[in-house]
Chain A
């Protein structure tokens, strides 16, 4: 009963906390309708969500203009324990709220244009300060906003292509202790905070959509890699022993590059009937570009963090069924593979493989307005992992690991306005 009561409160009050996804810091919650169907969408052309999923899809939207906007509330936490040392910790992540707002308009028979605003990368993990893994991370908050003007061209009734250019703005706020041991004379742990706001970059996405038959759609979409280059952003070293103040002079600045990897998606959508559609997507994310997170500080310090991610495929399946003129229900499942390799499991992105179960619904208010809902549950297995590449001050390496168990639930709301 307590569990249900707690959940009811969560549903009612949105007292949810944040993200823990399998895919590194990629947060795949870019459309309420798509999420209901396992976050498929590269071959779907039901709403302006196509701006994100496949810009070519704008050419096949029914309305002259449409605007769809949604927000997702993420409750995600990770537990850590080490049965050898009898230690445990649990994240206390705040609620994550990725958004997706998309607008599309038909310009003429050939061209459509649109714009999207969405937040595909993010990561908020707050471990208890000075917990057992605090030399890797105390807390991290990573956020990005993409603003993507988009154009599509309808080659003929069966084929279209699309192109989007994205301006990307990102923030990071990261704190960790300098080592497992360094304290000042009062015993307070020495730590470092890096904080960058408004780091910008850009990338592009292209798509191709084919409708060989009335029932079948096939889509391909590619999103290029972007690198967020933080240059001269502020860093502070805290609780530094006074005799080390020149070694760790603070405040200082830092440089770092964060990779937002390229993604290729192939998918099909098939109408079983006028009211029922199935969709299947494969996402390939080129995480192998994320080899290392290297932070260099202007005071001469540096932090080299090998990541050595691998490319991963995510398999997504979804279905939707219109119950009547008012209600459409959706369901989906996906296999979310972690890009983190054995020995590189760091508690800053504590994700192992998971299975995502999704559900969604749309309610037609009137000819112009629909309301969308989505629900995602990510199922994680208990997992024993370690990060074996901690570089100590003397150049040796050490390891940090234990059992991890993550849980994520998201709840999304959106409106879809057609005019």
Chain B
């Protein structure tokens, strides 16, 4: 029995040794989650986010659940919650397809999100709408009357946010209402986005508006008007550039509405350069590969045109050089229409029937993303010489020419001056330079420690397949950038997120 007792004592002492040893099995000396995260001088108890598609979490050409759940405001709110932030509600759509129903009928203008078809049998990966029947209803969604912290409305321009009736279904046909806001506007027919946001009396807000004031003009290839000088936005078309004074007046009133309580804090996010997003950087101006034989045939075909241009514009050698079309073996610039060229199509008698305002593109032109599936296809299926961009010029909507780019950038720069001035005027408001972030993604990309993203279309990881909106991973990069500004501006220590834990593009 003594031996047995000794055995127990000895085993027990081994157990104690083990227990002591286990106690040494401590955590990291500086564990994640225990780094004195705090909100500093910021008050995140009631966070409201106002803006357009970027704020809504729109991606891949649609607003779908995964995008909303990974919108930069949702990411911010999730991080704010770790330092005292409150609940954050979003007007979630019904599915991960993203298409919209209008009274039960699918609307092809609001289709499903894009996924990448990477089939090796294709000439290259192509984005395609994901298959499935959308279930998100615009009219009678059941959301109207509720309050949402995320007041991002895809498609909204600055002056839309304060426009009464922007959420009134009756205005959908006339285009005065936006289906995304119709889904979740408060009950009153004249409810405004900014009104529904301000009534929540946020303690903290983000405002990122003005992108569409230039972007719709840009993505449509500049087919709209530059409305600079026209102070009545009700006369603007959907693809026009908003007058900078209209933007300034609107912006100041939006900020005023959000800061009715002077203690309200906020982040004012500026407008990126369209030339830094893949929608305009993916298709090169010299997208046409040719061999010598084909180049010779094309040059012969363009010889009468070149001769006609040389003859009629003999007094303007610069323009002759610009308009003369020459192909060679290798990569060739596409042929585009340029409405800013001198119109010689009516010169009588024309040397040929083709003296239209065309030229070959240069590095100064930006081809839109959709031309990637257009260049080289036949404008006339029965005419083998009608390849877009080669035999037939790309049209105005396919390309931003330098004058259009200048108009966009002039307006954008003015908007950003307004945004920065608004931030400078109120110590509770901080300017976020999203333009610099997008420029960095475009120029060098961003290494976030466990991975890398840049603006390369489809493979870069930062931009979704619509070429305009970030991926969830890209929105995480945006959120981190905003968090950095919050931390420095409000003496806070809000934790950043790991972009690597967010998705990039979806492959079919």
CA distance A5 to B253 in the complex (A): 63
B344 at the interface (CB under 8 A from A): no
Q: Which of B23, B117, B121 contacts A3 (CB 8 A)?
A: B23
Enumerate B1-53 residues with CB–CB distance to A below 8 Å: 3, 6-7, 10-11, 14-19, 21-25, 27-33, 35
Q: Are A185 and B496 in contact (CB under 8 A)?
A: no
Q: Give every chain A residue within 8 A of B500 (Cβ-Cβ).
A: 85, 87, 132, 180
Q: Are B32 and A83 in contact (CB under 8 A)?
A: yes
**Shortest distance from the beta carbon of B466 to any chain A beta carbon, whole Å:** 15
Q: Are B25 and A407 in contact (CB under 8 A)?
A: yes
Interface Cβ pair total, 8 Å cutoff: 143
B508 at the interface (CB under 8 A from A): yes
Q: Are B459 and A394 in contact (CB under 8 A)?
A: yes
**Shortest distance from the beta carbon of A109 to any chain B beta carbon, whole Å:** 37
Enumerate B483-508 residues with CB–CB distance to A below 8 Å: 495-501, 503-508
CA distance A187 to B3 in the complex (A): 63
CA distance A187 to B117 in the complex (A): 14
**Shortest distance from the beta carbon of B267 to any chain A beta carbon, whole Å:** 20
Q: Are B28 and A382 in contact (CB under 8 A)?
A: yes
Q: Give every chain A residue within 8 A of B28 (Cβ-Cβ).
A: 79, 81, 382, 403, 405
**Shortest distance from the beta carbon of B506 to any chain A beta carbon, whole Å:** 5
B343 at the interface (CB under 8 A from A): no
A243 at the interface (CB under 8 A from B): yes
Q: Are A400 and B497 in contact (CB under 8 A)?
A: no
Q: Which of A7, A87, A187, A375 contacts B32 (CB 8 A)?
A: A87
B507, closest chain A residue (CB): A241
Q: Are B117 and A82 in contact (CB under 8 A)?
A: no
Q: Are A182 and B22 in contact (CB under 8 A)?
A: no
Q: Are B130 and A327 in contact (CB under 8 A)?
A: no
Q: Are A181 and B505 in contact (CB under 8 A)?
A: yes
Q: A85-B498, A86-B33, A244-B118 are in contact. Are A327 and B506 (CB under 8 A)?
A: no
A3, closest chain B residue (CB): B23
CA distance A326 to B7 in the complex (A): 10
A361 at the interface (CB under 8 A from B): yes
Enumerate A134-193 residues with CB–CB distance to B below 8 Å: 180-187
Q: Which of B22, B118, B120 contacts A409 (CB 8 A)?
A: B22
Q: Which of B27, B496, B507 contacts A184 (CB 8 A)?
A: B507
Binds A, one of B219-227, B281-289, B370-378, B443-451: B443-451
Q: A82-B498, A132-B501, A405-B28 are in contact. Are A243 and B450 (CB under 8 A)?
A: no
**Shortest distance from the beta carbon of B252 to any chain A beta carbon, whole Å:** 37
**Shortest distance from the beta carbon of A372 to any chain B beta carbon, whole Å:** 13
Q: Give every chain A residue within 8 A of B6 (Cβ-Cβ).
A: 327
Q: Give every chain B residue within 8 A of A186 (Cβ-Cβ).
A: 96, 506
Q: Are A82 and B507 in contact (CB under 8 A)?
A: no
Q: Are A183 and B451 in contact (CB under 8 A)?
A: no
Q: A83-B30, A87-B498, A183-B507 are in contact. Are A8 and B15 (CB under 8 A)?
A: yes
Q: Are A241 and B508 in contact (CB under 8 A)?
A: yes
CA distance A87 to B500 in the complex (A): 10
Q: Give every chain A residue within 8 A of B506 (Cβ-Cβ).
A: 183-187, 241
Q: Give every chain B residue within 8 A of A359 (Cβ-Cβ).
A: 14, 17
Q: A85-B497, A86-B495, A409-B22 are in contact. Are A400 and B450 (CB under 8 A)?
A: yes
Q: Are B495 and A3 in contact (CB under 8 A)?
A: no
Q: Give every chain A residue within 8 A of B121 (Cβ-Cβ).
A: 246
Q: A86-B497, A180-B450 are in contact. Are A8 and B19 (CB under 8 A)?
A: yes
Q: Give every chain A residue within 8 A of B151 (Cβ-Cβ).
A: none
A5, closest chain B residue (CB): B19
CA distance A292 to B136 in the complex (A): 51
B461 at the interface (CB under 8 A from A): yes
Q: Give every chain A residue within 8 A of B231 (Cβ-Cβ).
A: none
A273 at the interface (CB under 8 A from B): no
Q: Which of A244, A357, A379 is packed against the most chain B CB atoms within 10 Å?
A: A244
CA distance A85 to B130 in the complex (A): 32
Q: Are B118 and A243 in contact (CB under 8 A)?
A: yes
Q: Give every chain A residue within 8 A of B505 (Cβ-Cβ).
A: 181
A11 at the interface (CB under 8 A from B): yes
The digit string for A2-41, where 1 denotes a CB below 8 A from any CB of B, is 0110111011000000000000000000000000000000
A342 at the interface (CB under 8 A from B): no
A360, closest chain B residue (CB): B14
Q: Are B449 and A85 in contact (CB under 8 A)?
A: yes
Q: Are A185 and B130 in contact (CB under 8 A)?
A: yes
Q: A181-B505, A185-B508, A363-B7 are in contact. Are A81 and B31 (CB under 8 A)?
A: yes
Q: Give every chain A residue within 8 A of B508 (Cβ-Cβ).
A: 185, 241-243
A88 at the interface (CB under 8 A from B): yes
Q: Are A182 and B450 in contact (CB under 8 A)?
A: no
Given contacts A6-B22, A180-B451, A401-B450, 20 further A-B contacts (CB under 8 A): A11-B18, A79-B27, A81-B32, A85-B448, A85-B498, A85-B500, A86-B496, A86-B498, A132-B450, A183-B506, A185-B507, A185-B508, A187-B503, A243-B507, A244-B118, A357-B21, A363-B7, A373-B11, A375-B14, A399-B450
Residues on A lying within 8 angstroms of B by beta carbon are 3-4, 6-8, 10-11, 79, 81-88, 132-133, 180-187, 241-244, 246-247, 326-327, 357, 359, 361, 363, 373, 375, 377, 379, 382, 394, 398-403, 405, 407, 409, 411
10 contacts between A and B (CB under 8 A): A10-B22, A79-B27, A83-B30, A132-B450, A181-B473, A183-B504, A241-B115, A243-B117, A359-B17, A373-B11
